Amino acid sequence: MPIPIQKLFTYKITEAESSYLKVGMRVAVPFGKSKIFTALVYDIHQMAPTAYKAKEIHQILDELPIITSRQLKNWQWISDYYLCSLGEVMRASIPSALLLESETLISLNEKFENAKILDNDEFLIFEALQHKSVFNVSEISKILDKKNALPLINSLLEKDVIVLHEEIFEQYKPKLIKFIRLQEKYKNDKELHSLLDVLNRAKKQREAVLTYFTLESTTKKPIKVKDLKNSSNVSGGIINVLVDKEIFEIYTIQTDRISFDKKTKELKKLSMEQKDALEKIKKSFQEQDVTLFHGITSSGKTEIYAHLIQEVINAGKQVLYLLPEIALTTQIITRLQQFFGDKISVFHSKYSINERVEVWYNLLHQENKAQIILGARSSVLLPYSNLGLIIVDEEHETSFKQFDPSPRYHARDTAIVLAKQHQAKILLGSATPSVESFYNAKNRKYGYVTLDRRFGDILLPKIELVDIKEEHRKKKMNGHFSERLISLIQDALNEKEQVILFQNRRGYSPIVECTSCGVSPQCPNCDVSLTFHKFRNELRCHYCGFHRTLPKTCPACENPSLDTKGFGTEQIEMELYDLFPEAKIGRMDLDTTRGKYGYQKIISAFQDQEIDILVGTQMLTKGLDFKNVILVGVLNADNMLNFPDFRAYERSYQLMVQVSGRAGRNKKRGKVAIQTFNPFHQILQQVTTNDYNNMFKDQLNERHQFLYPPIVRLVKITLKHKDFQKVKTGADWLGTSLKNNFHNCVLGPTSPAISRIRNQFIKTLLIKLPNDKPIKQSKDMIQKIKNSFQSISHFRSIRLNIDVDNY
Ligand code: ADP
Ligand code: ZN
């Protein structure tokens, strides 16, 4: 059952059903008083349950299993390792269109017209939905007067008559590029000559036409309006005149991103060093299942992956290419698609229900289209049947870890187990490996291959630290910009090169503070200060979404003295408009990238050089490849370093090296300027010298000293309730029983830095499990303590989460 209960449930079936049903098929079953769920068959047996009377199933929904046995094994591992129910893993894995239940909301697909294809019952629902826009599955059962409507709803979904309400996706908007061509009638010489004669008096127009011919003969490709404008130096107005005169016509070509075309290119020829790295990886795979590939930024890791993928699909096996965040990595899709064309499928939670169901079935039936799966975190949960290779790109990225809701799994670690189940190989790639992966490589648990030359022998960017303490003292700062950074940006703009500026916070300035009484406005639901967003003149809570207009006076002392403190991406953007009024400025953060194609728009604009300076948060750091970026600026390194987390230094190192890696990826060496109050900080020194090994050594020492992963394993328990006293009593009880078993390995209970979110008070406990004790036993114990906690009726309403490897 797709529910957070550890148990499996037994239902009654007939003998005929028992010979038809197979493990992994879906059945509609009643649950509780009146609910209907889609459940999966786990086992078919002859033991009647003793604690309850088995109910009958409503209906069998499949002719064949929709999951594979290996997949089920993988889910089982997740459930055991991350201490969650198999049902939670199932719910996270199966697209919701395949998991209809009585509560699922359904509405009409606006685009559906062809009512002729519907049978009577289907038509009934189609009609009903014209009168009332949303129904749940139970209501539809009532309309039909049938106990079970799921098969009918499935067929309506297949026929595109209805959509599931929970997913209102932004409709797919293809990117349209405007092209220009000469009208058909001027294709013959005579007409053309007379045209040029006529245009003799209109110099500019004539120039536009002549430039068009030059472009046509040199590029032999469709000509963009933009290109014509740029090369001929005529205005859009002139071109419009020519269009009005019916000399030119404008047309658009859709650059479709979902349906993949045939392959267009052969794999790139590898350089000597790349070839060498590829051979070493293959050799490592002969001895090890897992190999860590430590290649500096722009060394061409992606091209090497492509070669590996080619070999594996030639051998008839499937490949999974895991990305930290697919929305950011449309670039990779485009790159791989050139080589592998329609053999690639993309799987991502932002894709629509039907797209996801399609990928699911393509994989299940081992279709050609699904030989390579490119996907984010959740694609480790899909029905693979014969994986040969998994690539985890940017393996150090935190977005591989799911924090909420359960299952709180790490996709990289799950992928390692998945690979083992398929006897496949797995490559973890990064320019800045996570401490835990490098640790495993050092201990020879993983193979290890390095590549420390950039493709084309471009040097790594030159990184300089700019001491802003000095500049502040000498009053030389201009807003948040040092003189040095301003002059570097100016140089880049003069050379028509692009700039990336990195600021690890969104919003205008995180905090508003009263200069009279020192109070900053707080969120009424959460224990945090509100963030100021200048664009809407609003204070917002980043945790619960609460917002209000910026008050004119301080809510505490009523003086008109509220002032902004700290700074975010939005304020940097504003300052740039003043500093570089000529430059085109863009911003990339959570606020500007909402919607399915939000990122894509900004990335394309930057790629097409419609933006000169791009300001952004860490989204900017993830594996993007821009050709024309010469300068990367980090506005403030200190707020990353001061973050209260045991991985703050490791992460700061990774972020800064990764963002620096966006500079100078083509021909010319890039520059990086990092502004800091503390230029002698060990991490900053290590970033400037690209000294991964010493960073690792220092961090590992600290982990030894203070007992953090990879030296121990962490399990975090979170309790939430709206009554503070209750959550406190519960946490104390839990703390005591955990300490009885794990002694001084238990930290807490404590209130986290943000101790109330959405009106729920929070308490946490942290358990540090030593690596040398059997982990299974410890987890069983934690599970047992959780069960006894939940059997105490006073605590039953407390929400309790367990997060294994919560970092
Ligand atoms: P990484 O993933 O290591 O940061 P990329 O694979 O993005 O590096 O490579 C950086 C740039 O160099 C890309 O634009 C890529 O196409 C180019 N490149 C890398 N290797 C080759 C090659 N062998 N031939 C041609 N171009 C290459
Ligand atoms: Zn809030």
Does residue 110 surpass a pLDDT of 90? no
The number of C-alpha atoms within 13 Å of 667 and in the hemisphere containing its C-beta is 5
If you take atom 6 of ligand 1, which residue's CA is the nearest one?
300
Q: Structure tokens of 392? A: 């985890």
Higher confidence at residue 566 or residue 795?
Answer: 795
**Looking at 166-170, 292-296, 371-375, 790-794, which range is the least confident one?**
166-170
Phi and psi at 394, nearest 5°, equal 55, 55
- Expressed in angstroms and rounded, the spacing between residue 801 Cα and the centre of ligand 2 is 20
Top mean-pLDDT range of 204-218, 591-605, 669-683: 669-683
Query: How confident is residue 259, by pLDDT bands cut at 50, 70 and 90?
Result: very low
Neighbours of 114 (CB within 10 A): 9
The number of C-alpha atoms within 13 Å of 408 and in the hemisphere containing its C-beta is 17
- Expressed in angstroms and rounded, the spacing between residue 299 Cα and the centre of ligand 1 is 6
Higher confidence at residue 509 or residue 132?
Answer: 132
- Expressed in angstroms and rounded, the spacing between residue 654 Cα and the centre of ligand 2 is 30
Question: Within 82-132, where are the H helices?
Answer: 86-93, 120-131
Strand order in the sheet with 59-60: 35-40, 26-31, 59-60
Does residue 502 surpass a pLDDT of 80? yes
The bound ligand whose nearest atom lies closest to the alpha carbon of 546 is: 2
Q: What long-range pairs does 515-520 form, CB within 8 A, spacing at least 24?
A: 515/561, 515/562, 515/563, 516/554, 516/557, 516/559, 516/561, 517/554, 517/556, 517/557, 517/559, 519/554, 519/555, 519/556, 519/557, 520/565
Predicted local distance difference test score (pLDDT) of residue 33? 79
If you take atom 23 of ligand 1, which residue's CA is the nearest one?
270
Phi and psi at 36, nearest 5°, equal -120, 135
Predicted local distance difference test score (pLDDT) of residue 401? 95
pLDDT in tens, 111-159: 787 778 888 888 888 888 887 778 888 888 888 888 778 888 888 888 8
Does residue 204 surpass a pLDDT of 50? yes
Predicted local distance difference test score (pLDDT) of residue 236? 82
- What is the residue-wise DSSP string for 621-656? GSS---SSEEEEEES-SHHHHT-SSTTHHHHHHHHH
Pocket test for ligand 1, best of 299, 455, 622 (most atoms within 8 A of CB): 455
Pocket test for ligand 1, best of 267, 271, 296, 302 (most atoms within 8 A of CB): 302
Predicted local distance difference test score (pLDDT) of residue 323? 92
Does residue 508 surpass a pLDDT of 60? no
Q: What long-range pairs does 521-529 form, CB within 8 A, spacing at least 24?
A: 521/551, 521/555, 521/562, 525/756, 525/757, 525/758, 525/759, 526/754, 526/756, 526/757, 526/758, 526/759, 527/754, 527/755, 527/756, 527/757, 528/754
Top mean-pLDDT range of 166-170, 185-189, 235-239: 235-239
Predicted local distance difference test score (pLDDT) of residue 143? 85
- Expressed in angstroms and rounded, the spacing between residue 760 Cα and the centre of ligand 2 is 10
Predicted local distance difference test score (pLDDT) of residue 260? 47
Does residue 172 surpass a pLDDT of 60? no
Query: How confident is residue 263, by pLDDT bands cut at 50, 70 and 90?
Result: low
Which ligand 1 atom lies nearest to the CA of residue 270? 23
Which ligand 1 atom lies nearest to the CA of residue 623? 4
The bound ligand whose nearest atom lies closest to the alpha carbon of 523 is: 2
Three-state DSSP state, 607: helix
The predicted model gives 609-636 an average pLDDT of: 86
The predicted model gives 247-257 an average pLDDT of: 65
Over the chain, what is the mean pLDDT? 87
The predicted model gives 695-707 an average pLDDT of: 94
Predicted local distance difference test score (pLDDT) of residue 588? 82
Top mean-pLDDT range of 205-214, 587-596, 634-643: 205-214
Which ligand 1 atom lies nearest to the CA of residue 274? 23
Query: How confident is residue 509, by pLDDT bands cut at 50, 70 and 90?
Result: low
Query: How confident is residue 701, by pLDDT bands cut at 50, 70 and 90?
Result: very high
Output the CA–CA distances (angstroms, integers) from residue 436 to 132, 410, 779, in the order listed: 54, 13, 21
Task: Render the burial of 142-155: b for 16+ CB within 10 Å, e for the rest.
Answer: eebeeebbbbbbbe
Query: How confident is residue 470, by pLDDT bands cut at 50, 70 and 90?
Result: confident
Does residue 168 surpass a pLDDT of 50? no
The bound ligand whose nearest atom lies closest to the alpha carbon of 452 is: 1
Query: How confident is residue 494, by pLDDT bands cut at 50, 70 and 90?
Result: very high
Which ligand 1 atom lies nearest to the CA of residue 661? 4
Top mean-pLDDT range of 187-201, 260-274, 470-484, 598-612: 470-484
Predicted local distance difference test score (pLDDT) of residue 510? 64
Query: How confident is residue 171, by pLDDT bands cut at 50, 70 and 90?
Result: very low
Q: Structure tokens of 254? A: 């859709």
Which ligand 1 atom lies nearest to the CA of residue 627? 14
Q: Structure tokens of 343? A: 């053999």
pLDDT in tens, 524-551: 877 777 888 777 788 887 777 788 888 8
Higher confidence at residue 736 or residue 552?
Answer: 736
- Expressed in angstroms and rounded, the spacing between residue 504 Cα and the centre of ligand 2 is 20
If you take atom 24 of ligand 1, which residue's CA is the nearest one?
268
Name residues contacting ligand 1 (CB within 6 A): 268-271, 274, 295, 297-303, 455, 625, 665
The predicted model gives 654-673 an average pLDDT of: 89
Give the span between the Cα atoms of 227 and 248, in whole angstroms.
15
- Expressed in angstroms and rounded, the spacing between residue 341 Cα and the centre of ligand 1 is 19
Predicted local distance difference test score (pLDDT) of residue 165? 63
If you take atom 9 of ligand 1, which residue's CA is the nearest one?
300
Give the span between the Cα atoms of 419 and 386, in whole angstroms.
10
Predicted local distance difference test score (pLDDT) of residue 623? 67
What HEC string does 547-597 produce? EEECCCCCCCCCCCCEEEECCCHHHHHHHHHHHCCCCCEEEECCCCCCCCC
Top mean-pLDDT range of 324-328, 339-343, 504-508, 729-733: 729-733
Predicted local distance difference test score (pLDDT) of residue 327? 62
Which ligand 1 atom lies nearest to the CA of residue 305? 6
Predicted local distance difference test score (pLDDT) of residue 395? 96
Predicted local distance difference test score (pLDDT) of residue 350? 67
The bound ligand whose nearest atom lies closest to the alpha carbon of 758 is: 2
What HEC string does 425-482 produce? EEEEEECCCCHHHHHHHHCCCCEEEEECCCHHHCCCCEEEEEEHHHHHHCCCCECCEC
Pocket test for ligand 1, best of 298, 331, 337, 457 (most atoms within 8 A of CB): 298
If you take atom 21 of ligand 1, which residue's CA is the nearest one?
300
The residues placing their C-beta within 5 Å of ligand 2, an ion, are: 523, 525-526, 541, 543-544, 546
pLDDT in tens, 357-387: 888 989 999 988 899 999 999 999 999 999 9
**Looking at 2-16, 182-196, 384-398, which range is the least confident one?**
182-196
Give the span between the Cα atoms of 732 and 574, in whole angstroms.
49
Predicted local distance difference test score (pLDDT) of residue 241? 87
Does residue 256 surpass a pLDDT of 70? no
Predicted local distance difference test score (pLDDT) of residue 722? 93
pLDDT in tens, 735-763: 999 999 998 899 989 888 778 888 899 99
Calculate what percentage of the chain has a pLDDT beyond 90.
47
pLDDT in tens, 388-436: 999 999 999 998 999 989 999 999 999 999 999 999 999 999 999 999 9
The bound ligand whose nearest atom lies closest to the alpha carbon of 266 is: 1
**Looking at 227-241, 683-697, 736-750, 760-774, which range is the least confident one?**
227-241
Predicted local distance difference test score (pLDDT) of residue 329? 67
If you take atom 20 of ligand 1, which residue's CA is the nearest one?
300
- What is the residue-wise DSSP string for 698-719? HHHHHHHHHT-TTSEEEEEEEE
Which ligand 1 atom lies nearest to the CA of residue 297? 4
pLDDT in tens, 66-80: 999 999 999 999 999
If you take atom 5 of ligand 1, which residue's CA is the nearest one?
300
Calculate what percentage of the chain has a pLDDT beyond 70.
92
Query: How confident is residue 258, by pLDDT bands cut at 50, 70 and 90?
Result: very low
- Contact 73/421 with Cβ under 8 angstroms? yes
